[in-house]
């Protein structure tokens, strides 16, 4: 990998088999001959992201944004292709990386140990993480008692403080109060100023336009557009305007036509 690249994705695909029952799953695992319907969450996605870039990832629900984020974070493996990261990555999602039965403090320690920090180093980070999360006495309560907003606060505080090379943020700023979102954006700007890289999944287009310099538009698993933020987001915004004016029946028909065309294109490539 070139030293200037933070991420190189090459023909990333993710397929899920749609089993109708347990017997079908067992037969497929043992014999590999079961005729199972396949669902492509991602289909041949390729891109390169430079160090210091902030990528806004957009698309309709079900277009593969979270799937790609999980692959980049190493949480999930691609069915085909590869994602190569130049540095350590941390994913920030609602509750991602948290053990529900452990307290907030215990989760801080666990996350630190998982990236190889000593207890002394973790103790140095503790106060900063607790102050940033700002969830009061809940820091000593099990995470399973937290609201979505509190989970998001803790996950973001842990990730930004432990200072990875690449941060992958999956809708974590969509919950909670606006003041905390502003606090996170300020911290992200400081993170980016250090020459580090961010992948930001969000439906908030104005937020992405303000923060990101690159954008990727996924449409039902396929890369629709990738480039500068001021080129891709207006294009996606015009699409959303038209899409929001469709009836549910028209939306279903649109989705079916897009997926059929993409499957036909993939068969031709093979």
Helices 119-133, 104-114: axis angle to 10 degrees equals 130
Please give the Cα distance from 62 to 40 (Å, whole number).
10
Range of the domain at 102: 53-62+88-269
| Alpha helix segments (H runs only) across the chain | 22-31, 65-73, 104-114, 119-133, 148-162, 178-193, 205-211, 229-244, 248-269
The per-residue pLDDT for 226 is 97
The per-residue pLDDT for 178 is 76
The per-residue pLDDT for 176 is 62
CATH, residue 245: 3.40.50.300
6 assigned to some structural domain: no
Q: Which residues does the chain have with pLDDT short of 50?
A: 267, 269-270
Retrieve residue 216's tokens: 């990727």
Task: Go through 44-76 and write b for each residue having 16 or more CB atoms within 10 A of its CB, e for each that does not.
Answer: bbebbbbbebbbbbbbbeebbbbbbbbbbbebe
70 assigned to some structural domain: no
Q: Quote the DSSP letter at residue 194.
A: T
194 assigned to some structural domain: yes
Please give the Cα distance from 181 to 153 (Å, whole number).
9
The per-residue pLDDT for 95 is 58
The per-residue pLDDT for 45 is 96
CA-to-CA dists, residue 119 to 35, 99, 115, angstroms: 51, 19, 12
Please give the Cα distance from 90 to 117 (Å, whole number).
15
154 assigned to some structural domain: yes
20 assigned to some structural domain: no
Sequence-distant (≥ 6) Cβ neighbours of residue 140 within 8 angstroms: 103, 104, 105
The per-residue pLDDT for 174 is 63
Structural domain count of the chain: 1
């Amino acid at each position: 990998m070139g030293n200037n690249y933070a991420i190189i994705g090459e023909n990333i695909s993710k397929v899920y088999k749609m089993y109708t029952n347990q017997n079908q799953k067992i037969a497929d695992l043992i014999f590999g001959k079961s005729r199972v319907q396949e669902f492509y969450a991602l289909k041949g996605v390729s891109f390169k992201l430079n160090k210091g870039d902030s990528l806004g990832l957009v698309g309709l629900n079900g277009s593969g944004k979270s799937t790609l984020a999980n692959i980049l974070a190493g949480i999930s493996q691609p069915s085909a292709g590869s994602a190569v990261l130049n540095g350590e990555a941390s994913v920030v999602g609602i509750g991602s990386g948290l053990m529900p039965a452990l307290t907030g403090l215990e989760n801080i320690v666990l996350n630190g140990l998982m990236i190889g920090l000593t207890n002394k180093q973790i103790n140095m980070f503790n106060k900063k993480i607790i102050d940033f999360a700002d969830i009061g006495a809940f820091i000593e309560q099990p995470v399973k008692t937290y609201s979505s907003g509190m989970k998001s606060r803790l996950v973001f505080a842990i990730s930004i403080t432990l200072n990875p090379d690449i941060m992958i943020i999956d809708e974590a700023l969509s919950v909670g109060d606006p003041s905390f979102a502003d606090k996170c954006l300020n911290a992200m700007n400081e993170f980016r100023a250090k020459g580090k890289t961010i992948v930001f999944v969000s439906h908030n287009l104005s937020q992405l336009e303000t923060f990101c310099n690159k954008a990727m538009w996924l449409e039902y698993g396929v890369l629709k557009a990738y480039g500068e933020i001021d080129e891709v987001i207006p294009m996606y915004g015009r699409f959303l305007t038209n899409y929001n004016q469709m009836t549910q029946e028209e939306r279903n028909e649109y989705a079916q036509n897009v997926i059929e065309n993409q499957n036909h294109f993939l068969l031709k490539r093979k």
